[in-house]
Structure 1
Amino acid sequence: MPFSVAYCGPAPSPGDWRWNLDPALLVLAFVAMALILWRLRERNRTLALAALGVLIVVFISPLCAVSSALFSARTIHHVLLVAVAAPLIAWALPVDRMRLLSFATAVQAAVFWGWHAPAAYEAALSSDALYWVMQVTLLASAVWFWGAIRSASLPSAVGHLLVAMVAMGLLGALLTFADQAVYRPHLLTTQDWGFTPLEDQQAAGLIMWAPAAAVYLAAALWLLGRWMGPDSTVVRVDAEL
């Protein structure tokens, strides 16, 4: 028997595509959509609605339940939060030039690494309150980071994106090359899905190491191209977008 039950419910079996129909969460999603449609301008509205769509996939779609079974699914969940939803939210919000990019980069990395420490991860999956603390801090620190990128100079943004890429990739590499599974909540939940716990953990590491880190690399390369391109007089990210 699993020793804890995550917010998203007990681990499902393959084919059990269970949606999370938590009434409070559905009301919150509806209110967020109404506020977006009411308060934001067209471009910002599109970005915010896209971010809300990502959050619905993360918290309401069957991915929520599958992440109770597979650490690799939980990793996809977290990557969608910090590397997809967060930049969409950051670009939907007003620009704030006082963002402390170096500090934001360090905080985002510390929060992401901290919640993937086995003890912290286990605690978050044993308590609904801690689960939501984990989700909110992951998302908020990432929104801060991407907002700081948005308001930074192009050289600074490129450099800090590469730092974030290394932080993400290093954690992924550590998980990929670990010789034992370290996440106890998934020790009894992966076999039905055809994975040993170690294989599931290695898959999660590869997701962080390759596609997740590649998001930061792609953003850095795109900004580097703009910085060194024909219109090289533009030196701030928010002047580009």
Structure 2
Amino acid sequence: MDQVYCGPPPTPQTLAWAWQYDPVAIGLCIVLVALHFRTGGGRPAVFSLGIGLLALLFLSPLCALTSALFAGRALHHVLLIAIVAPLLAMAYRGPGPARTLLPLGWIAVLQAGILWFWHVPAVYERAIVSAPLYWLMQLSLLGSGYLLWRAVLDRRQPTGTVLFVLLGTIVQMGMLGALLVFAGTPLYAAHFGTTQVFGMSPLDDQQLAGLIMWVPAALPYLAAALYRVSLSLAEPASTRRAGAWFG
């Protein structure tokens, strides 16, 4: 098999030292910092947290772990779309997404399609060994997640639509996770020979990945839904659609 983008699979003994120097990831962070300040540079603490976590995803041993465990890849993707993306969205100060982007429903469909596409086994196995495909995967996941969170966090969006989209996102991610958990055989050949040193069979690894996408991945979306409901209940009806979290 070709070399995986994040390097050779580590062992439990070498994982702590498996830091990466990835100029593409560093360049991406620099570009995002420049764009952030060009658009107003709001909420520096939130933005710094988002960029710092983004850098860790691609430079820390977690990147190397994705070469060995599909569960590591699942955790990587969940952190990218459900933690980094909303942090960057909350830090943005600019025109509201309700005026500039696709309708929220179409953004949710786009994000779901991208997520499922990159987890098709044949597509996944090509993406992790090709630098262009690898970064297309990462950027499309981050970009679609960012668009979704910007729209969801905009209080000009109708509360009912936002809740429906958040619920739909939880359901479709849960379905993908359930498919991985209940598959009778391992699906990702790239990890057939790399999980045993971590005390797992390829099927165990795949099931753990499914659980990550099924349960923990849903929590940020559930928290956003509960927060949106609490805001809606606390505001007078005449002002429930006014304002934005990006102000």
Normalising by structure 1, report the TM-score.
0.90
| In the alignment, structure 1 residue 182 sits paired with structure 2 residue 198 | no
How much does 1:38 deviate?
7.7
The count of residues paired between Structure 1 and Structure 2 equals: 238
Spell out, residue by residue over 1:43-84, the C-alpha distance to the aligned partner (whole angstroms, 9 max, x if none): 2x2222111111112101110001110000111100011001
| In the alignment, structure 1 residue 74 sits paired with structure 2 residue 77 | no
Summarize the Cα distance change of 1:225–1:184 in structure 2 as closer, same or farther, 3 Å threshold. Answer: same
Of residues 169, 173, 176, the one that matches 2:174 is 169
- Tell me the distance in 2 between the aligned counterparts of 1:200 and 1:145: 29
How much does 1:23 deviate?
3.6
1:1-241 aligned within 5 A:
3-16=1-14, 17=16, 18-30=18-30, 32-33=32-33, 36=36, 40-43=40-43, 45-93=44-92, 94=94, 95-98=96-99, 99=101, 100-151=103-154, 152-229=157-234, 231=236, 233-236=238-241, 239=244
**Is the CA contact 1:176–1:201 (under 8 Å) kept in the aligned structure 2?**
yes
**Is the CA contact 1:154–1:223 (under 8 Å) kept in the aligned structure 2?**
yes
3-state DSSP class of the match of 2:87? helix
Spell out, residue by residue over 1:19-57, the C-alpha distance to the aligned partner (whole angstroms, 9 max, x if none): 1112443354356446656864452x2222111111112
Summarize the Cα distance change of 1:240–1:92 in structure 2 as closer, same or farther, 3 Å threshold. Answer: closer
Question: Which residues of structure 1 form unaligned runs of 5+?
Answer: none
How much does 1:158 deviate?
1.3
CA RMSD of aligned residues (A): 2.0
Read off the aligned partner of 1:63 and give its amino acid letter: L
- Tell me the distance in 2 between the aligned counterparts of 1:188 and 1:234: 57
3-state DSSP class of the match of 1:239? coil
- Tell me the distance in 2 between the aligned counterparts of 1:145 and 1:15: 39
Mean alpha-carbon deviation: is it higher for 53-62 or for 214-223? 214-223
- Tell me the distance in 2 between the aligned counterparts of 1:205 and 1:59: 21
3-state DSSP class of the match of 1:12? coil
**Is the CA contact 2:82–2:217 (under 8 Å) kept in the aligned structure 1?**
yes
- Tell me the distance in 2 between the aligned counterparts of 1:85 and 1:210: 18
- Tell me the distance in 1 between the aligned counterparts of 2:172 and 2:209: 15
Question: Which residues of structure 2 form unaligned runs of 5+?
Answer: none
- Tell me the distance in 2 between the aligned counterparts of 1:239 and 1:29: 26
Spell out, residue by residue over 1:84-111, the C-alpha distance to the aligned partner (whole angstroms, 9 max, x if none): 1111111222222233100000000000
Consecutive aligned runs of 4 or more in structure 1 exceeding 6 Å deviation: none
Read off the aligned partner of 1:209 and give its amino acid letter: W
How much does 1:126 deviate?
1.9
Summarize the Cα distance change of 1:237–1:210 in structure 2 as closer, same or farther, 3 Å threshold. Answer: farther
Summarize the Cα distance change of 1:238–1:69 in structure 2 as closer, same or farther, 3 Å threshold. Answer: farther
Summarize the Cα distance change of 1:221–1:187 in structure 2 as closer, same or farther, 3 Å threshold. Answer: same
Read off the aligned partner of 1:29 and give its amino acid letter: C
How much does 1:199 deviate?
0.3
